[in-house]
A = this chain, B = another copy of it.
């Protein structure tokens, strides 16, 4: 599907948080998972800006580990603030998406 980019604004960060909440992971892997999910146009650069932002806002802890397949990986895990932020995100999503579906289904 073409050009969902604008529609992802404000939700992509939440998706990244959700993926991290499933267990320690790193930028490149997050990108792969999002692409598998169906967001085929998501590129690494986008995810790195998000993970850097999460780091800056203190929602994640980081841990650098060597890889056998390439350069060292920077692993992320959610901290308490990140978990709260994720919970807020899903709350907002629930609210917004239900309102939009309500608008869609009205006649």
Contacts and interface: CB of A to CB of B under 8 A. Distances in A.
A10 interface: yes
B102 A37 contact: yes
A102 B93 CA distance: 13
Interface in A18-34: 18-19
Given A18-B104, A103-B15, A96 B37 contact: no
Interface residues of A, number: 29
- As for how many copies of this chain the complex holds, the number is 2
A38 B103 CA distance: 11
Interface of A: 1, 3-11, 15, 18-19, 37-39, 90-93, 95-97, 99-104
Contact of A103 (B4, B5, B37, B95): B37
